[in-house]
Chain A
Amino acid sequence: MINEEKVILMTRMASYEEHEGRKDISITHYFRGDYIGFQVLKSVIAATFSFFALFAVYIFYNFEELMQDIYNMDLLAFGKSVIIRYLCMVGIYGVVSYVVFASKYSRARKSLKHYHDNLRKLSGMYDK
């Protein structure tokens, strides 16, 4: 006999596995710290690239002034201000991505826990 309740449960689980489940499982394969750390690292790299792109635009934009002043400007102070801006940008972006990915991880964890509960319920049905 086909157990209707079991089929319903299995259908729900199979559809979860096919859609959100796949992503959730791949996220929770990592430890929390590893996952978030990896994502933040990616964010830092992305921010670095963007910063250099924007910096290049800035240099080209002010090319003539920079060329004129290059001998009498305080290169050290200029470099310092650039580095401070870079750190600010990367820092803020890193914090934002930490928050985003931490919440993503905990959400994935939660729905996966629900899935495991269902799994346990299903195996309970077999024992009956």
Chain B
Amino acid sequence: MINDEDDHMTTLLVAKQYMKNFINKYEIYLKPLMKLVLALTALMMINGKIGYMHKLDNTSIVLILALMCSFMPTNFIIFVAAAFTVLHFYALSLECAAITLILFLVMFLLYFRFSPKDTVVVVLLPICFVLKIPYVIPLAMGLVGTPASVVSVGCGVAVSYLINYVADSATALSGMEAEDITTRLRFVIDGLLNNKEMVLTIAAFAITIMVVYLVRRLSIDHAWTIAMIAGAIVDVMVLLVGDLMFDTKVSMVGIFVGTIFSLLIVKILEFFVFHLDYSRVEKVQFEDDEYYYYVKAVPKITVATPARTVKRINTPRKRSGSGQSRR
């Protein structure tokens, strides 16, 4: 007997295996490609949303920078995106650029010294906010990160809201008189600090990360799945309760739909990406007294091979016989 569910599972496992082989084989090319795509997306979104400096809003510049990012370390993308944002804001108003610069400076100086690994979240989060699925990030970071990821995610949320706020109030900012530096400065800072929605989102995401992290480390079956569902529920609850308490007027439908989509995405990511071990093909050279060695070490594939089920079309006439003991 064979049932549909098993069949689907087998197909998925085969797909996963294929994916794993593919990643192992082409890792050298895939990594720069991913960086290129990320950098391109980030820079184009920045240009689309806050392209106030027309010199930068130029496809060739974006392409050149994205290509540069593809073979630099990942953190270079953050650096380029931050520089882009500040320059665009500078074209809009000096005060805005100064505040953004200070925000980035404090972020780089204080936090990124410690955990240079999950800093890429700061670029990913604004992108996810534009795609309306920011809830992916805290769930994913809870699964693969540590509680310290709370800070990166918080920084990412703050940056997203800052960009949004400035983009929304660009006309008001450029309409103010040029001499009135303090007013403009106050306008930006007030807008950022009094944004209850931002504070609420940071709090919700922080709690989500902690919940996902704690649940996933429990020694229970399906800990990862339970962790992401629990995280998603907590996230929605905190956002809704916060909405009632602070009257932030967030879109309920947006939260629900976004969370469900995020859950799906994280589930797919979990299946295909997170469980892959990144033990890669290694090429090393060394020598001893007798030989030079050029060794290519290929990691053994440890995923269980899909269980095969044999479908019997004809029921065998003979019940006995040694050849019948197939599974």
A binding-site residues for B, Cβ under 8 Å? 2, 6-7, 10-11, 14-15, 18, 42-43, 46-47, 49-50, 53-54, 56-57, 60-61, 63-64, 93, 97, 100
Contact = CB atoms under 8 A, between A and B. Distances in A.
Interface in B182-202: 182, 185-186, 189
Given A15-B297, A57-B99, A60-B185, A50 B288 contact: no
Contact of B105 (A2, A11, A18, A49): A49
Contacts of B172: none
Contacts of B282: 11, 15, 18
A64 to B, nearest CB: 6
A54 B106 contact: yes
A57 B286 contact: no
B284 A50 contact: no
A97 B189 contact: no
B109 A49 contact: yes
Contact of A64 (B182, B285, B297): B182
Interface of B: 99, 102, 105-106, 109-110, 113-114, 181-182, 185-186, 189, 282, 284-286, 288, 291, 293, 295, 297
A61 B51 CA distance: 27
A93 B105 contact: no
B113 A42 contact: yes
Contact of B284 (A2, A11, A56, A93): A11
19 contacts: A10-B286, A10-B288, A10-B295, A11-B284, A11-B293, A11-B297, A15-B282, A15-B284, A15-B297, A18-B284, A46-B113, A50-B105, A50-B106, A53-B102, A57-B185, A57-B189, A60-B185, A61-B182, A64-B182
B291 A2 contact: yes
Given A7-B293, A10-B293, A57 B102 contact: yes
Contacts of B189: 57, 61
Given A7-B295, A60-B181, 14 more contacts: A6-B288, A10-B295, A11-B286, A11-B293, A11-B295, A14-B284, A14-B285, A46-B113, A54-B102, A57-B99, A57-B189, A61-B182, A61-B185, A93-B110
